[in-house]
Amino acid sequence: MALLKFISELNWSARAGALIVLMFGGCALFAPWLAPYGQSEIVGDVWEPLFGEFFFGTDQIGRDMLSMLIYGARNMIGLALLTTACAFSLGALLGFLAATVGGWLDQILSRIVDVIISIPTLIFALIVLSSTGTSVPALVTVIAVVYAMPVYRIARAVAMDIAVMDYVEAARLRGEGLWWIMRKEILPNAMTPLAAEFGLRFCFVFLLISGLSFLGLGLQPPLADWGAMVRGNADGIAWGYLHPLVPATCIALLTIGINLLVDTMVHRASGLRDDQ
């Protein structure tokens, strides 16, 4: 009921985004029950046609595309959520520390962030992953560190505005500790902009994972991955097969759906009226 009420209060674009996100979220949660075959199970010939015996056909080695899309939703959304949560935990913690403590700590952290953020994201990830390997822990660590840097900047900017408020100064005068001030005073008041940024950052993480998978440095077989599906079926375009467009469309749809929801959150947080 709460979910239906939330959707009913959204405008038409946000409802479309919510529908897309719910569809892919349902696939991710119930993948083992929704997928007709296993994610690495070979069930037919190579590149069987779309909307035939297999709804989205088969891939370059005969696996069911629909099953791989469903399992790919679970693998990629789960990995992107975990990575984004790690990036936000690290970036927000460091940003709050820099804003609350200030002084030399703020200067050191800010200069380190400036150095890391100056390196192109994809190049940084390619260099590190080529050296460390493409295991899931390595993927999560590298991407989380990369995207924790812009989160640090946003969290620091928001926290600096909050840290000068009277209620924060009153907490300091009461003798409250640094951790208490960050957890009880700064974090609750910074949740709205950080929540909106979480959705945008999830899109960036999701697209980076897809790009790395397309280049062969993302999730490795037998795990299904939309980016790897595009790469694996790309040769079919030359023969008139449209199979690589299916996972590419899923990547685009999920990104658009999340952005539609985030736009609504940002609009509401700004205090502007939302014309239905």
**CATH number for 82:** 1.10.3720.10
- Please tell me the chain's helix, strand, coil percentages from 3-state DSSP, rounded to the nearest 5: 75, 0, 25
pTM of the model: 0.88
Show the domain range for 200.
Answer: 13-269
What is the pLDDT at residue 245? 92
Share of the chain above pLDDT 90, in %: 39
Q: Which residues pair with 34 in a beta bridge?
A: none
**Residue 276 is assigned to a structural domain of this protein:** no
Q: Write out the DSSP string of 168-222.
A: HHHHHHTT--HHHIIIIIIHHHHHHHHHHHHHHHHHHHHHHHHHHHHTT-SSPTT
Q: Residue 252 — pLDDT band, cuts 50, 70, 90?
A: very high
Max CA separation in the chain (angstroms)? 73
What is the pLDDT at residue 76? 92
Q: Which two tokens stand for residue 271?
A: 């205090």
pLDDT tens digits, one per residue of 26-61: 999 999 999 999 888 888 888 888 888 888 989 888
**Residue 1 is assigned to a structural domain of this protein:** no
Residue 275 has pLDDT above 80, yes or no: no
Count CB-CB contacts under 10 A for residue 55. Answer: 14
Q: Report, as an integer, the average pLDDT of 9-32.
A: 86
The number of helix segments (H) and strand segments (E) in the chain equals: 12, 0
**Residue 6 is assigned to a structural domain of this protein:** no
**Residue 275 is assigned to a structural domain of this protein:** no
Contact yes or no for 258/203 (Cβ under 8 A) = yes
Expressed in angstroms, the distance from the first to the final Cα of the chain is 21
What is the pLDDT at residue 276? 44
Contact yes or no for 72/214 (Cβ under 8 A) = no
> How many structural domains is the chain composed of?
1
Look-up of token digits 């909307």: 51
Q: Report, as an integer, the average pLDDT of 110-121.
A: 90
